[in-house]
């Protein structure tokens, strides 16, 4: 059995959540399927070693080389397949990793296109792209039950849930499964000082509140900055640190509007490089543990919209790994767990006063802080990569088909792929 994990995000020392998920997916498949040879194909020149002897990490480089790689494998796994996979449709088994509500994120990113016609075309091309991806897939996996409902609904609308498929599996669990983003094993290692006593303005003994991810349209950095302005009135030893601004997959950069707005607001409130700090760049994956080890609290804020409802906050996984209590806005499934277990404090979206109080509670209430840290240890075990990837492993090992037969999907697939290619050709390439 030959399995190709096709990463659409950078994999290496500087990688973000898409690359990290591809890396651990390939690693676990190699570890847990002894009969498989696994290849992780990446868009960059790899600068990390393979974690397993049955796993190769290679660049796909040109489209022709990528096509050759797909030809040589039996199963192809990706968060989105390039159109060149269509000629291989009948010969390969395709697993689609829709681990985030991509179309909704694309709606948010489209706000950067100021011309209405251009924006509408870009969104329309991505809608056709999503349709073609779901039509290609022999197996779809996503991060939570809300997402599963979303993709099942989309597939039903596209005619990808037939009476025969429903009769075979009336819960469709073998067609669309939940595979959450995972947590790596072990705990962060502190190998060098990176924040306290190193970043000017963050002093030894300060309590660091870490925003461990990018600043982009669907995250509300403004509310967190306003909360820190409130916190700074009573505590000058609590500091907010934004871990990343230049995304390795070009989703955002320090020049992007959301980052610029966050920096400007912190200057207006007088907390820039006093209580609020920005790392200009992207921290290498193997160094993140140092930043988490020197932090006391994790923080994330988003808006009350569709993105939040269907989200699975991948950045929380590193906070679970480090057992850092979290302050988060409500709306997504993990925020529900944060409030219920508790793993920290969940506050209403946009309420900076409530967020300030939540940060202070975790800073000043040691008993509550320790309770959250204890509960986070159980969360780490629940979401280990080796545990959450079992549905994908089952798909790879089984020869049984749960999707609508390919002969019934081929003409809708060709139509949807052609519609995507036509509309994409009309829109200038967006490189954020």
Read off the CATH number of the domain in which 72 is found: 3.40.50.2000
What is residue 269's DSSP assignment? Answer: T
Q: Are residues 396 and 333 in the same domain?
A: no
Q: Do 59 and 132 have their domain in common?
A: yes
Q: Is residue 162 part of a domain?
A: yes
Q: Does the pLDDT value for residue 120 go beyond 50?
A: yes
**pLDDT at residue 379, as a whole number:** 95
Is 277 among the domain residues? yes
**Number of compact structural domains in the chain:** 2
Last residue of a domain, one of 347, 367, 382: 382
Backbone torsions φ then ψ of 60, nearest 5 degrees? -95, -20
In a domain, 224, yes or no: yes
Cα–Cα distance for residue pair 218/109, rounded to 1 Å: 9
> Is 7 inside a domain boundary?
yes
**Structural domain of 392:** 2-183+386-425
Confidence at 250, pLDDT banded by 50, 70, 90:
low
Report yes or no on 255 lying in a domain: yes
- State residue 61's pLDDT score: 86
Mean pLDDT (whole number) for 189-205: 96
Examine residue 413 and state whether it is found in any structural domain, yes or no.
yes
Asked if 173 and 139 touch (Cβ cutoff 8 Å), the reply is: no
Q: 52 and 94: one domain? A: yes
Nearest to 102 by CA among 262, 215, 218: 218
Asked if residue 303 has pLDDT above 50, the reply is: yes
Same domain, 325 and 398: no
Per-residue pLDDT at 253? 58
Residue 199: is its pLDDT beyond 90?
yes
Q: Is residue 200 part of a domain?
A: no
Same domain, 372 and 391: no
Q: Assess whether 377 and 394 both reside in one domain.
A: no
Tell whether 377 and 391 lie within a shared domain: no
The answer, yes or no, to whether residue 257 has pLDDT greater than 90, is no
Give 424's pLDDT tier (boundaries 50, 70, 90).
confident
For residue 429, name the pLDDT band (cuts at 50, 70, 90): low
- Tell me the pLDDT of the chain averaged across its residues: 94
249 — pLDDT class (breaks 50, 70, 90):
low
pLDDT at site 138: 98
pLDDT of residue 431: 44
DSSP for 312-342, written as a single string: --THHHHHHHHT--EEEESSSHHHHHHHHTT
Q: Say if residue 53's pLDDT is above 90.
A: yes
pTM: 0.93
The pLDDT, as a whole number, for residue 244 is 82
| pLDDT tens column, 378-422 | 999 999 999 999 999 999 999 999 999 999 999 999 999 999 999
Query: Does 134 lie in the same domain as 27?
Result: yes
Q: Are 65 and 110 members of one domain?
A: yes
Q: Are residues 165 and 245 in the same domain?
A: no
Tokens of 249: 């997959």
pLDDT of 344 strictly over 70: yes
Both 73 and 135 in one domain: the answer is yes
Nearest to 133 by CA among 430, 412, 429: 412
Find, among 301, 360, 358, 357, the residue nearest to 332 by Cα: 301
Q: Is the pLDDT of residue 432 over 80?
A: no
Same domain assignment for residues 169 and 231 = no
75 neighbors 93 (Cβ within 8 angstroms): yes
* CB-based burial label for 108 (10 Å; 0-12, 13-18, 19+): middle
What would the two tokens of residue 125 be?
């091309």
User: Is residue 431 assigned to a domain?
Assistant: no
């Amino acid at each position: 059995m030959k399995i190709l994990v096709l990463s659409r995000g950078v994999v290496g020392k500087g990688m973000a959540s898409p690359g990290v998920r591809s890396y651990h997916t390939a690693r676990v498949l190699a570890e847990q399927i002894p009969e498989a040879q696994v290849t992780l194909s990446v868009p960059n020149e790899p600068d990390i070693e393979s974690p397993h002897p049955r796993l190769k990490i290679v660049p796909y480089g040109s489209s022709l080389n990528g096509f050759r790689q797909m030809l040589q494998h039996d199963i192809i796994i990706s968060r989105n397949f390039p159109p060149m996979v269509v000629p291989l449709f009948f010969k390969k088994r395709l697993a689609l990793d829709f681990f985030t509500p991509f179309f909704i994120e694309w709606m948010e990113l489209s706000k950067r296109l100021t011309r209405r016609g251009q924006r509408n075309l870009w969104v329309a091309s991505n809608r056709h792209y999503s349709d073609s991806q779901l039509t290609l897939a022999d197996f779809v996996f996503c991060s939570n039950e809300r997402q599963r409902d979303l993709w099942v609904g989309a597939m039903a609308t596209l005619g990808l849930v037939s009476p025969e498929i429903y009769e075979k599996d009336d819960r469709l669990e073998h067609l669309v499964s939940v595979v959450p983003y995972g947590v790596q094993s072990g705990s962060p290692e502190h190998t060098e000082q990176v924040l306290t006593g190193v970043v000017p303005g963050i002093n030894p003994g300060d309590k660091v509140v870490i925003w461990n991810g990018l600043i982009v349209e669907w995250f509300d950095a403004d509310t967190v900055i306003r909360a820190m302005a409130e916190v700074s009135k009573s505590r000058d030893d609590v500091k907010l640190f934004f871990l990343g601004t230049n995304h390795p997959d070009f989703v955002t950069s320090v020049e992007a509007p959301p980052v610029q707005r966050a920096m400007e607001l912190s200057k207006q409130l007088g907390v820039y490089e006093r209580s609020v700090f920005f790392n200009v760049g992207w921290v290498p994956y193997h160094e993140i543990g140092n930043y988490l080890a020197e932090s006391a609290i994790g923080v994330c804020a988003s808006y009350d919209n569709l993105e939040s409802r269907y989200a699975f906050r991948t950045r929380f996984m590193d906070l679970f790994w480090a057992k850092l209590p979290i302050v988060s806005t409500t709306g997504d499934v993990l925020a529900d767990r944060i409030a219920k277990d508790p793993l920290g404090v969940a506050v209403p979206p946009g309420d900076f006063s409530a967020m300030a109080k939540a940060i202070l509670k975790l800073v000043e209430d040691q008993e509550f802080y320790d309770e959250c840290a204890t509960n986070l240890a159980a969360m780490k075990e629940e979401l280990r990569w080796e545990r959450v990837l079992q549905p994908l492993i089952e798909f790879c090992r089984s020869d049984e088909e749960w999707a609508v037969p390919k002969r019934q999907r081929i003409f809708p697939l060709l139509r949807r792929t052609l519609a995507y290619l036509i509309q994409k050709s009309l829109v200038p390439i967006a490189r954020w």
